[in-house]
Amino acid sequence: MLLLILSKEIRMPKERTPMRKIKEVLRLKWSAGLGSRAIARSVKVGKTTVDELVRRATEAGLSWPLPPEMDEAALEQLLYPPSVTPEEPSRPLPDLLVMHQELSRKGVSLSLLWNEYKERYPQGYQYSQFCELYRQYARKLDLSMRQIHRAGEKLFVDYCGKTHPVIDRGTGEVREPQIFVAVLGASNFTYAEATWTQSLPDWIGSHVRAFSFFGGVPEIVVPDNLRSAVSKSCRYEPELNPTYQDMAAHYEVAVVPARVRKPKDKAKVEVAVQIVERWILAALRNRTFFSLAELNAAIRELLDKLNNRPFKKLPGCRASRFLELDKPALRPLPASAYQFAQWKKARVNIDYHVELLGHYYSVPYQLVGRELDLRYTESIVECFHKAKRVASHVRSVVKGRHTTVSDHMPKGHRSYAEWTPERLIRWAGETGEATAELIAAILSRHSHPQHGFRSALGVLALTKRFDKERIEAACKRALAIGGTSSRSVKSILETGLDRKPLPEQTALSLTVTHNNIRGGNYYH
């Protein structure tokens, strides 16, 4: 073990054999003529160490006795000259800035760039060193700049935390609009606008205007998990709002929400939000606006300046990078902009109508009892069953009325699903004559008796809460006062008016006539 350590001392400059032992080895070899083993035992070093010292001294041209002027430092310098490392051929550095820009293009990878580099410089850096050089360079860039995003691939969207007040000239009311921000991943080209709220109509409208501003559509939109975008948050399979999904389908874009509590998923837009707050909202802090249009005009002016500001650590600006990278890669806009539409689920009633905001729209009578998806805009109502459109109507805002397509009705008002006007009147007759007469009156108020089915069922459903005697009395009072609706009967029962006698002067005999109704007395 000692010999191994001493042999290492010969090779390692910091742990060499002491000078006095070196001189003793040389004296015993050249003056006394001893062999290497005898010298090793005498000096307490290894035989290989003795041989190595003699070899170095011979190569240095030394003999015994040593020159008197040679001190220990000179002897050490002669025996252990500094090692001369052969110069490695110079290896050109890759252009890291160009690499960073090229990585934003579709299909470009570090492996491809390294192959191109090696073709130009065969003696250049190997792949691992090549990648490490780029990683060191990227760490010096800003967070939003160092991430690699493919051209035309992702659009990140979010709202600013800060805002700017707008004052109503007429009332003096101060409102705080929301600032929508959208930024393209590859170029950092930014869009911003003010809307009154973060509600679904404003959220969708901001997307439509952003796509128009960019002049194209990316492959993916990355929103946060706000309610207007995601109906049900989930780390792995978030459920998108149906209207948002409908808008995405119109533009043929995929929506991939950022994961909950994963800010790095949307670091690009978080930085863009900070920049908009710093360079736009802060710049407007001393200005007063009296309309949303005025505020958006000021934002657009500063937005153009922001997109044309030169980068600090990269050449060019957001606008130039957009024209170079994202603009050519964006997909074209559809022929028409998306029209805002909302969705609602509704079950088909026995009158083969679905209710939307107080109005009733017909669907094919075969769908009675089925659940449909309603898509409605300002002008159109569409009904879907299992993703297939089964009905379409012009939207009406008149509550309590029906929009009916004759093709949706059963031919000749034949029995369907065992529901007919006669069956409802017969069922009401089990409660009493007045109840049957009231149901007949309700059905007679409509051009098609089926339109009154809902109200008739509402009266009959009261038997679950009230005795038949009370319902019969309530129906008599409703007939007397002309309140031929389920709401009137319900109100009479809840207020107890059914227990009070009817004034004789207000008693009425209501005669109901309708081609499709035989009347209550027919069933007695």
**Does residue 285 register a pLDDT over 60?**
yes
184 and 314, same domain (yes or no): yes
Q: Of 31, 46, 79, which residue constitutes the final position of a domain?
A: 79
The average pLDDT across 12-40 equals 73
| 121-125, 184-188, 265-269, range with the lowest pLDDT | 265-269
* DSSP for 327-343, written as a single string: HHHSBPPPSSPPPP-EE
* pLDDT tens string 361-408: 999 988 989 999 999 988 899 999 998 999 999 999 888 888 888 888
Number of C-beta neighbours around residue 190 at 10 A: 25
513 and 389, same domain (yes or no): no
Q: Residue 184: beta bridge partners?
A: 155
220 and 259, same domain (yes or no): yes
218 and 315, same domain (yes or no): yes
Q: Of 44, 79, 114, which residue constitutes the final position of a domain?
A: 79
**Does residue 335 form part of some domain?**
no
**Does residue 12 register a pLDDT over 50?**
no
As a whole number of angstroms, the distance between CA 212 and CA 203 comes to 15
Q: How confident is the model at residue 106 (pLDDT cuts 50, 70, 90)?
A: low
CA-closest candidate to residue 222, choices 250, 257, 263: 257
The pLDDT score that the predictor gives to residue 98 is 79
**Does residue 93 form part of some domain?**
no
* pLDDT tens string 178-196: 999 999 988 899 999 999 9
* pLDDT tens string 27-40: 888 877 888 888 88
| 44-48, 372-376, 516-520, range with the lowest pLDDT | 516-520
**Does residue 66 register a pLDDT over 70?**
yes
The average pLDDT across 275-283 equals 91
The pLDDT score that the predictor gives to residue 9 is 40
64 and 192, same domain (yes or no): no
205 and 312, same domain (yes or no): yes
* pLDDT tens string 153-182: 899 999 998 899 999 988 889 999 999 999
* pLDDT tens string 134-154: 888 777 765 545 456 788 889
Report whether 402 contacts 451 (CB < 8 A).
yes
The pLDDT score that the predictor gives to residue 235 is 56
Kindly give, in sequence order, each residue whose CB lies less than 8 Å from that of residue 151, ignoring residues fewer than 6 positions away.
Answer: 104, 105, 106, 186, 187, 325, 326, 328, 329
**Does residue 102 form part of some domain?**
yes
193 and 316, same domain (yes or no): yes
**Does residue 92 form part of some domain?**
no
The average pLDDT across 323-352 equals 90
The pLDDT score that the predictor gives to residue 413 is 47
CA-closest candidate to residue 289, choices 459, 168, 403: 168
Question: pLDDT: is 433 or 6 the higher one?
Answer: 433
**Does residue 86 form part of some domain?**
no
Kindly give, in sequence order, each residue whose CB lies less than 8 Å from that of residue 201, ignoring residues fewer than 6 positions away.
Answer: 340
The average pLDDT across 88-115 equals 76
DSSP 127: H
Kindly give, in sequence order, each residue whose CB lies less than 8 Å from that of residue 52, ignoring residues fewer than 6 positions away.
Answer: 7, 10
The pLDDT score that the predictor gives to residue 450 is 65
Kindly give, in sequence order, each residue whose CB lies less than 8 Å from that of residue 381, ignoring residues fewer than 6 positions away.
Answer: 356, 361, 374, 375, 392, 393, 394, 395
Distance of CA 299 to the CA centre of its chain: 24
- What is the pTM for the complete model shown? 0.53
**Does residue 87 form part of some domain?**
no
Percent of the chain at pLDDT > 90 equals 27
The pLDDT score that the predictor gives to residue 507 is 41
**Does residue 89 form part of some domain?**
no
**What residue numbers bound the domain in which 273 lies?**
154-329
229 and 201, same domain (yes or no): yes
The pLDDT score that the predictor gives to residue 184 is 92
The pLDDT score that the predictor gives to residue 513 is 53
* pLDDT tens string 454-479: 778 888 888 888 888 888 888 888 88
39 and 103, same domain (yes or no): no
107 and 227, same domain (yes or no): no
User: Which of 36-40, 113-117, 332-336, 494-498 tops mean pLDDT?
Assistant: 332-336
205 and 274, same domain (yes or no): yes
The pLDDT score that the predictor gives to residue 442 is 82
50 and 190, same domain (yes or no): no
**Does residue 56 form part of some domain?**
yes
User: What total number of domains does the chain contain?
Assistant: 5
Question: pLDDT: is 440 or 322 the higher one?
Answer: 322
The pLDDT score that the predictor gives to residue 234 is 57
As a whole number of angstroms, the distance between CA 411 and CA 423 comes to 18
**Plot region of 391 (φ>0 → left; ψ -120 to 50 → alpha; else → beta):** beta
Question: Can you tell me which residue has the tokens 């170095």?
Answer: 56
Q: Is 520 exposed, middle or buried (0-12, 13-18, 19+ CB in 10 A)?
A: buried
The amino acid that residue 111 corresponds to is S
Q: How confident is the model at residue 97 (pLDDT cuts 50, 70, 90)?
A: confident
Q: Residue 193: beta bridge partners?
A: 180
Number of C-beta neighbours around residue 459 at 10 A: 26
Q: How confident is the model at residue 233 (pLDDT cuts 50, 70, 90)?
A: low
The average pLDDT across 434-445 equals 83
As a whole number of angstroms, the distance between CA 521 and CA 524 comes to 5
The pLDDT score that the predictor gives to residue 147 is 58
3-state secondary structure (DSSP) of residue 171: coil
Question: pLDDT: is 148 or 213 the higher one?
Answer: 213
Indicate the average pLDDT of the chain. 81
Element (H, E) at 193: strand 190-195
Q: Of 360, 384, 413, which residue constitutes the final position of a domain?
A: 413
The average pLDDT across 93-116 equals 79
CATH number at residue 187: 3.30.420.10
